[in-house]
Structure 1
Amino acid sequence: MRLAIVLSLLASAASAQTCGGPVDSFINGIKAEAQATGIPAATTDRFFQGARIDDAVLRADRSQGVFQKDFISFSRALISQNRIDNGAIYGARQDRTFDAIKARFGIPRGVLLAFWAFETDYGQVQGSFNTRDALLTLAHDCRRPDLFRPQLIAAIELFRRGGMDPATTTGAWAGEIGQLQKLPREIITQGLDGDGDGVVDLKNSAADALMTGANVLASLGWRPNEPWLQEIILPANLDWSKTGLNHKASVRDWANAGIRARHGSLGPANLPASVLLPMGRNGPAFLTYPNFDVYFDWNKSFVYVTTAAYFATRLEGAPVYNPGNPSPALTERQMQQLQQKLTTRGHDVGGIDGILGAMTRAAVQAEQTRLGLPADAWPTVDLLNRL
C-alpha cells in the first residue's frame, strides 16, 4: 500500500511538470495524462519508444523572421505565376472535391487552393520533421506548452486509432501533418474522408486534406457563400481613424463614405466590414468581411492571413492589387523600438517582437490619433521620432 502511494505521488509530480526539466520525467507525465484519458499504457510506451528532443525544431521555432516582412514584400515572395498556374492545374484535378466542398460548406475553391499552395505547394512539400519528436520538443519547451502539450496527447490518441506511426510519420516542424498541415487534434475532430475509401489520409489523399480543411474552416465559423476580402478604391477624405480590423461598419455605410470596389461590386449592403490598409493609406486597400476573421484561427500572423486571403481572390479571378506608394516599412530594430515606446505609454502590443501585428497596429493608430496624424495604423519613422 505504501509503495502504491509513493508511485501515485511520483506520477502526480511528473504530470505536474508542464514543461522543461528532465525529458524522461516529462514523458512520464505525458504518459500518465494520456492514460488518464483511457489510452492503454502499452500504447503510450510504444508511442514514445525512440522519442527524442529535436534541436532543429527549436531553431525553426525561434527563426520565423519571414513574418516581419511587410505585406507587399511577403505577398510577392509567396505568390508567383507558377503558383497561380499550378492552382488552375491542381484545382482541375480536384474538381469533384471542390464542387462537393462548395455544396456542403459554401467555401469557394480559391480559399482552399491558397492554403494548399502556401502550406505544401499543393501537397508536394509536406515537411520531413518527425511529427512525434516535433510535438514532444515543443511541448517540453516552455515557450508555448499550453498549445503543444494537448497536441502531443492527441497524437498518442491518433496513433491508437491507426492514424499515424510515431516512428515514420513526418510533417512540418510545428507538428502539422498532411497536405494542408493540420495538427493531431484537428485530424481527430475534423478529419473527413474526401475520396470515399473509408480512410482519412491527409498526407496521400488531396481529397481528404481539402475536405478536412473545409470542415475546419466551417467549424471555425465560416459563413457559407459570403465574401472574405476585396480590393477597394478609397476616397481622399476618408476618416482614417475608422479604418482597421478593430473598426467595423456596414458595407452600405462604407459605400456612402465613398469606397468603391476595384473589381466587381461590393458585398451585400448589410454585411459588417472593415477597411484594411496593410501598409497605410498610400498602399494596397481592402475591405474585409466576417469570413476574413476566420483566417486568424487558421494562422495568427497578420501578414500571412492577409496574403492568403488576397491570394484566394486572385485564384478566383481578381487582378493584381494596386501597390500604391506607401511609406517605407520600419526595420526590425525600429519596430522593436516603436513597440517599446508604445508599451511604455500603456499600450499592449503583445510583446516586443519586431512584428507589426494587429495589437501593434491598434496602438499605432491610437497614438496617431493623439498626435493629430493620419490614423491609418501604418508606423513611420516620423511617428517613431515623435514618440
Structure 2
Amino acid sequence: MTSKFPLALVLASLAASPALAQAPACGGNFAQFLEGVKAEAIASGVSPDVAQAALRTVSVDNKVLSRDRAQGVFRQTFLEFSRRSVSANRMQVGAQKMKQFGEVFARAEAEYGVPAAVITAFWGLETDFGAVQGDFNTMNALATLAHDCRRPELFRPQLLAAIEMVGHGDLDPTGTTGAWAGEVGQVQMLPRDIIDHGVDGDGDGHVNLKTSSPDAILTAAKHINGLGWRAGEPWLAEVSLPEGNFPFEKSGLGQGMTLSDWTALGVSFPNGAPTTQNLPADLLFPQGRNGPAFLAFPNFSIYLEWNQSFIYTVSAAYFATRLAGAKPYDAGNPGDGLGDVAMKQLQQKLVALGHDVGDIDGILGGGTRAAVRAEQLRLGLPADGWPDQDLLNRL
C-alpha cells in the first residue's frame, strides 16, 4: 500500500457521491458494483491508485459462473479416490520435493510445528506440486463470484483481499491466474488467507505462491498452524481390528474415545502405535468395516478445515502418512456401496425416520453416515456407518 487517507474524509466523499451510495452489495449493474468495491477498499486503507489499477480491467467471467453452478459432487469411493490420488508417481515426486526443499521444510516444522509430509501431501493433491494451478484470471473470478448474489459474503472479502495483494505487489490484476473460485498458487489458497499467513520464504520481499516453492511451503505451514495444528502429534494411523465381536457403534467422529480405549479393545497398528495413550482418537471406516480402517487424532480436524469432503480429507491424511513412511493400507474386501439413486432413496428414508442428513444429494456425508450408524444399531446390524442394499431394503 502506497498511502492511506483519513477514514472520515473517505466516508464523507462516499456519502457525497450518488453513484457510490447506490452501488449494490451484489448483483445489479457490474460497473456500479465495482465502484462500491473500490470505495470499500479505499475506506480500508488501500490507496485510490491501487484500487483503480486492481479493478480497471476486471470483467465478468461466465465460465466461472458455469463452474460454480455445475460443481460436481464427490461420488468416488475411498478406494477409488485414494488409489488414484496417492499414486506411485506422486509418492516418488513427493519424496523428491521433500529432499529438494529439505531446509525449507525443516524451517516449517521448527517455526510452525507442521511436518514436511503433511505439507507435501496437500501440495501434491492440490496442484501436482505446482504443475496444475488453474488458468482463470483471479481478479475476474473473485469479482464475478462477489457480484453474483449466491455467496457474496464469502467472495467479496476475498476480492477486497486480492486488491490489497495488488498493493503489496503480490498479485497482478491482469496476469495472475488460479482456480475458478479464486484460489491461487501451488497450495491453492484464497487471498485473505495469503495475507493473513503469507511468508516470504525465498527472501525476495514478496509472497508469491505461484512460482516460489519456499513461499508456498512456509505459507501453507503457517496457515495449517493457524488452523490449530498440534505439533508433535499424529494425524491418522491405519489400524487392524480384532476377531470376534467389536463395538462398531463407537466408530465415527466425536465419539469420545481415546487411543488407550481402542488399544484395550484389541485394536492394533501395522505401522506402530503412537506413544501418547490419552490422545482422543476416532475410528474411521471410509468404506465400511470390511475395508481400510484408521484412527483419526485431533490433528485430523485440520484436514476437515482445509476441505470438507470426508473422502478427500481421509485420502490427504493417508497420503501424508505414506510420505512419512507408512505402508500402503490393507484394502480388505469392502462390499458394494449404493449408487446415486439408491443413496438418495436411503437419505429420504432416513429423513422420514427423523434423522438430519442435510441435503438429499446422494452423497455419503457426515450426517448420512451418523444416521446410517444409528439405524444399523437399531436394527441389530454392525454399526459401521457404511450403507448397502440390505440396509436400504430393511428400511
- Specify if TM > 0.5: yes
Q: Structure 1: which amino acid aligns with 2:258?
A: S
Structure 2: tracts of 5 or more residues without a match = 1-12
Alpha-carbon distance in 2 for matches of 1:5, 1:155: 22
After superposition, the Cα gap between the structure-2 partners of 1:334 and 1:144, relative to the gap in structure 1 and judged at 3 Å, is farther
Correspondent of 2:235 among 212, 222, 228: 228
**Are the aligned partners of 2:346 and 2:392 in contact in 1 as well (CA < 8 Å)?**
yes
Asked whether 1:285 is paired with 2:293, we answer yes
Q: Within 5 Å, which residues of 2 pair with 1:120-199?
A: 120-199=127-206
* 2:389 matched residue in structure 1: 381
* 2:224 matched residue in structure 1: 217
Asked whether 1:326 is paired with 2:329, we answer no
Alpha-carbon distance in 2 for matches of 1:372, 1:142: 47
Asked whether 1:244 is paired with 2:252, we answer yes
Structure 1: tracts of 5 or more residues without a match = none
Q: Secondary structure at the match of 1:275?
A: strand
Q: Structure 1: which amino acid aligns with 2:104?
A: T
Query: Offset of 1:7 from its aligned partner?
Result: 5.5
Asked whether 1:98 is paired with 2:105, we answer yes
After superposition, the Cα gap between the structure-2 partners of 1:145 and 1:381, relative to the gap in structure 1 and judged at 3 Å, is farther
After superposition, the Cα gap between the structure-2 partners of 1:39 and 1:347, relative to the gap in structure 1 and judged at 3 Å, is farther
**Are the aligned partners of 1:190 and 1:216 in contact in 2 as well (CA < 8 Å)?**
yes
**Are the aligned partners of 2:27 and 2:147 in contact in 1 as well (CA < 8 Å)?**
yes
Alpha-carbon distance in 2 for matches of 1:10, 1:237: 71
Query: Offset of 1:330 from its aligned partner?
Result: 1.5
* 1:365 matched residue in structure 2: 373
1:73-127 per-position Cα deviation (integer Å, ceiling 9, x unaligned):
1111212111111111111110111111122222221111111111111112211
Return 328-337 or 128-137, whichever deviates more.
328-337
**Are the aligned partners of 1:251 and 1:267 in contact in 2 as well (CA < 8 Å)?**
no
Asked whether 1:344 is paired with 2:319, we answer no
TM-score (norm 2): 0.91
Return 372-381 or 282-291, whichever deviates more.
372-381
* 2:47 matched residue in structure 1: 40
Q: Within 5 Å, which residues of 2 pair with 1:25-104?
A: 25-65=32-72, 67-104=74-111
Q: Structure 1: which amino acid aligns with 2:355?
A: H
* 2:302 matched residue in structure 1: 294
Asked whether 1:11 is paired with 2:13, we answer no
**Are the aligned partners of 1:361 and 1:378 in contact in 2 as well (CA < 8 Å)?**
yes
* 2:8 matched residue in structure 1: none
After superposition, the Cα gap between the structure-2 partners of 1:197 and 1:36, relative to the gap in structure 1 and judged at 3 Å, is closer
**Are the aligned partners of 1:234 and 1:259 in contact in 2 as well (CA < 8 Å)?**
yes
Return 198-207 or 49-58, whichever deviates more.
49-58
Q: Structure 2: which amino acid aligns with 1:11?
A: L
Q: Structure 1: which amino acid aligns with 2:20?
A: A
**Are the aligned partners of 1:260 and 1:266 in contact in 2 as well (CA < 8 Å)?**
no
Alpha-carbon distance in 2 for matches of 1:343, 1:36: 47
Alpha-carbon distance in 1 for matches of 2:119, 2:48: 39
Aligned pairs, how many? 383
* 2:311 matched residue in structure 1: 303
Query: Offset of 1:267 from its aligned partner?
Result: 4.2
**Are the aligned partners of 1:227 and 1:267 in contact in 2 as well (CA < 8 Å)?**
no
C-alpha RMSD of the superposition: 2.1
**Are the aligned partners of 1:66 and 1:74 in contact in 2 as well (CA < 8 Å)?**
no
Alpha-carbon distance in 2 for matches of 1:142, 1:371: 45
Q: Secondary structure at the match of 1:68?
A: coil
**Are the aligned partners of 1:246 and 1:362 in contact in 2 as well (CA < 8 Å)?**
no
Alpha-carbon distance in 2 for matches of 1:149, 1:204: 26
Q: Structure 2: which amino acid aligns with 1:21?
A: G
After superposition, the Cα gap between the structure-2 partners of 1:326 and 1:142, relative to the gap in structure 1 and judged at 3 Å, is farther
**Are the aligned partners of 1:280 and 1:377 in contact in 2 as well (CA < 8 Å)?**
yes
Q: Secondary structure at the match of 2:23?
A: helix
Q: Secondary structure at the match of 2:196?
A: helix
**Are the aligned partners of 1:234 and 1:258 in contact in 2 as well (CA < 8 Å)?**
yes
Alpha-carbon distance in 2 for matches of 1:26, 1:342: 43
Query: Offset of 1:332 from its aligned partner?
Result: 2.0
Q: Structure 2: which amino acid aligns with 1:250?
A: T
Alpha-carbon distance in 2 for matches of 1:194, 1:24: 38
Q: Secondary structure at the match of 2:281?
A: strand
Q: Structure 2: which amino acid aligns with 1:315?
A: L
1:178-236 per-position Cα deviation (integer Å, ceiling 9, x unaligned):
11111101111100111233322111110110000000010000000110000000124
**Are the aligned partners of 2:14 and 2:21 in contact in 1 as well (CA < 8 Å)?**
no
Q: Structure 2: which amino acid aligns with 1:134?
A: A
Alpha-carbon distance in 1 for matches of 2:14, 2:132: 50
Query: Offset of 1:66 from its aligned partner?
Result: 6.0
Alpha-carbon distance in 1 for matches of 2:14, 2:203: 50
Q: Secondary structure at the match of 1:260?
A: coil
Alpha-carbon distance in 1 for matches of 2:17, 2:394: 60
How many percent identity over aligned positions? 53
Return 360-369 or 286-295, whichever deviates more.
360-369
- Aligned structure 1 segments of 4 or more residues deviating by more than 6 angstroms: none
Alpha-carbon distance in 2 for matches of 1:377, 1:142: 36
After superposition, the Cα gap between the structure-2 partners of 1:43 and 1:340, relative to the gap in structure 1 and judged at 3 Å, is farther
1:269-315 per-position Cα deviation (integer Å, ceiling 9, x unaligned):
01111001111111110000000011111111111111000000111
Alpha-carbon distance in 2 for matches of 1:186, 1:238: 43
After superposition, the Cα gap between the structure-2 partners of 1:31 and 1:322, relative to the gap in structure 1 and judged at 3 Å, is same
Q: Secondary structure at the match of 1:233?
A: coil
